[in-house]
Amino acid sequence: MTNWTTPYNDPLRIVPYGMAVIGTVFAAAGIGIVATQTHSVVAVPIVLPLLGIWLTFMWRFARIGLVISDVGVRIRWLLRTRTFGWNQVQRFHTARDILAPARLWIELTDGSQIRTPIQRVRYLLPGATLADGSAWLTPDRYKALLRTLYSRLAQAQSAARPTTSSKTAATAKTKASDNSSKPSALSLRPAAPP
């Protein structure tokens, strides 16, 4: 199983996680009240799906972010999670979008641009992360994240490329196997009479 880790420290992530935990506690209490206090058969089928939707929304919202592993980079949004292998990533860059003046984008080898939930901000405002669930990183944390991402990308690219010595060894091995399958010159001569 792949170990996905968050390559940045976002102190404001406690806000959506706290909301998800509080929502879970209230949902459990609500289920308990509905199950014990109401004798209506209609209330349970209405309340349980609504609580399920609410909990799913809150936990997905809390998990919005960017995570990495040896396999690649994964972008989690509220409604969609996308995973890209390191071999698909061309580069990372910062650009403006409709919600943020400085957002991290991933450029893939096919030329497409992928929006991430990472924003570079000058300073952190409490609760500001709730705008679209993005991680707001100060310039120093943002630079550290870029260093980590480029380091992992370079590691994956160097692991994917065979080294010169392994190319030479592979070529020599191929030549040796080609020569062993061809009959030698001695076996083509007719046998000498006794």
Burial of 119 (0-12, 13-18, 19+ CB in 10 A): buried
Please tell me the distance from the alpha carbon of residue 3 to that of residue 189, in angstroms, as a whole number. 62
Question: Is 183 among the domain residues?
Answer: no
Question: Is 79 among the domain residues?
Answer: yes
State both tokens at 21: 């935990």
Please tell me the distance from the alpha carbon of residue 164 to that of residue 37, in angstroms, as a whole number. 74
In this structure, of 7-11, 76-80, 89-93, 190-194, the range with the lowest mean pLDDT score is 190-194
Question: Is 113 among the domain residues?
Answer: yes
Cβ-contact 66, 6 below 8 angstroms: yes
Same domain, 75 and 150: yes
Same domain, 83 and 156: yes
Question: Is 71 among the domain residues?
Answer: yes
Q: Which amino acid is at 136?
A: W
Question: Is 39 among the domain residues?
Answer: yes
Contacts of 59 (CB under 8 A, 6+ apart): 20
Cα 44 from chain centroid (whole Å)? 37
Looking at the structure of the chain, the number of domains it has is 2
Classified as helix, coil or strand, 78 is: coil
Q: pTM of the predicted model, to two decimals? A: 0.69
Q: What is the CATH number of the domain that holds 153?
A: 2.30.29
pLDDT, mean over the chain = 78
Same domain, 43 and 112: no
Please tell me the distance from the alpha carbon of residue 57 to that of residue 78, in angstroms, as a whole number. 7
Q: Which amino acid is at 123?
A: Y
Q: Say which residue, 163 or 192, is predicted with more confidence.
A: 163
pLDDT in tens, 142-160: 999 999 999 999 999 898 8
Question: Is 76 among the domain residues?
Answer: yes
Host domain of residue 121 = 64-161
Same domain, 86 and 147: yes
Cβ-contact 138, 121 below 8 angstroms: yes
Question: Is 176 among the domain residues?
Answer: no
Question: Is 134 among the domain residues?
Answer: yes
Give the chain's end-to-end CA distance (angstroms, integer).
68
Q: How many CB atoms lie within 10 A of CB 18?
A: 11
Same domain, 24 and 35: yes
Closest by CA to 111, choosing from 134, 133, 88, 80, is: 88
Same domain, 128 and 52: no
Same domain, 118 and 47: no
Note the pLDDT of residue 52: 82
